[in-house]
């Protein structure tokens, strides 16, 4: 994670920002935790089960230093949204720049790790 990233914890029901992670120490800890996930064992599924209720999301924003036309931008752009569903092993990952939504079933250890971050 770099200094231009800004993660936020969001209540999935109310869309309220519960907390922002902005200190270098917290960003490094978050980066280490995410790097420790066993993404190779994640199972891509067609969708999270219908009875899953979105609980919380971890949203990542970036502040690009330059736009395509060469001017700078002060506006953060959402780059990734990871949604957890209560007491299930499923997450939804949304990548706005690609308008891509992916649902995964994760091993319990990774769900626990993500849950501890949120």
Q: State pLDDT tens for residues 94-113.
A: 999 999 999 999 999 999 98
| Contacts for 34 with CB less than 8 Å, ≥ 6 apart | 1, 117
| Owner of token pair 């569903």 | 85
| Contacts for 5 with CB less than 8 Å, ≥ 6 apart | 27, 60, 61, 62, 79
More confident residue, 13 or 105: 105
Residues in the chain: 118
Q: Looking at the whole model, is its pTM more than 0.85?
A: no
Q: State pLDDT tens for residues 62-83.
A: 876 655 666 555 677 889 999 9
For the chain, domains (ranges, CATH) are 5-64+72-117 (2.60.40)
């Amino acid at each position: 994670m770099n200094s231009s990233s800004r993660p936020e914890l969001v209540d999935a029901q109310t869309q309220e920002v519960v907390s922002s992670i902005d200190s270098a120490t917290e960003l490094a800890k978050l980066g280490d935790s995410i790097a420790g996930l066993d993404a190779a064992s994640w199972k891509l599924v067609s969708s999270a089960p219908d009875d899953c209720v979105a609980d919380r999301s971890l949203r990542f924003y970036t502040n690009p230093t330059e736009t395509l036309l060469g001017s700078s931008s002060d506006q953060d752009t959402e780059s990734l949204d990871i949604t957890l569903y209560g007491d299930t092993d499923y997450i939804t990952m949304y990548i706005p720049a690609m308008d891509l939504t992916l649902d995964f079933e994760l091993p319990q250890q990774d769900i626990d790790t993500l849950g501890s971050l949120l």
